[in-house]
Amino acid sequence: MSETQMPTTRTRVVREADRAVYDRDAVYCILDEGFLCHTGFVVDGQPFVIPTSYGRKDASLYIHGSAASRMLRQMKDGVPVCITVTLLDGLVLARSVFNHSMNYRSVVILGKATLVDDPEEKLAALRILSEHILPGRWDDSRQPNERELKATSVLRVPIEEFSAKVRVGPPIDDEEDYSFPNWAGVLPLEMKAGAPINDARLDPGREVPPYLTSYSRRP
């Protein structure tokens, strides 16, 4: 059964509150369809927002990167972070420029990132990251060696303080603008995979794996 999370004062949606979603399953659906997040944190009073890939396992979000990166050096100490994920579904074109909008699904997660120290959990988290982006690729690739694992940091962020915001549907114009003689409606947008392109040094007899030919971000 889905759990509806009560928003905190920090995650309660104020503007367009009718678009707020606090249901955990709905948030998981958005997170599972996306794979690129933006991670915000502050260092010495300077805000930074870094785009990075992620993976989810139950109520934990995993991000990774070079152990020498500024982001991971700071966050492994448990500094507060803000992680956002946005999926764009369409351009909403109203009759007036002021009422143009977008259809979207977004999630905001607040929390503290902790370093994954346990070697088994670290390797498992890297697999989660890989499988989240491209299911089937992990077992079809060379596994990380000791040097690569040492150079990589993995951080875990609990999905505990969160909210989502969703807009769907047609444009909403001012009543007096409905007679304005221009086109109005929605231009749908979606992420769509193209045909795989072979590497120049690929064995000519190697076939494209099914997990690529059937790739889709839709659950």
Q: Which domains does the chain have, with CATH numbers?
A: 17-170+202-213 (2.30.110.10)
215 band by pLDDT with thresholds 50, 70 and 90: very high
pTM of the model: 0.91
Under 8 Å between Cβ of 61 and 155: no
* pLDDT tens track for 186-214: 999 999 999 999 999 999 999 999 999 99
Angle, CA 218 vertex, CA 214 and CA 219 arms, to 5°: 100
> Which DSSP letter does residue 215 get?
-
At 138-193, the pLDDT tens digits run 999 999 999 999 899 899 999 999 999 999 999 999 999 999 999 999 999 999 99
Which residues 6+ apart lie within 8 Å of 56 measured at CB? 28, 31, 32, 62, 128, 132, 159
What is the structure's pLDDT at 7?
Answer: 87
Strand partners, 48: 41
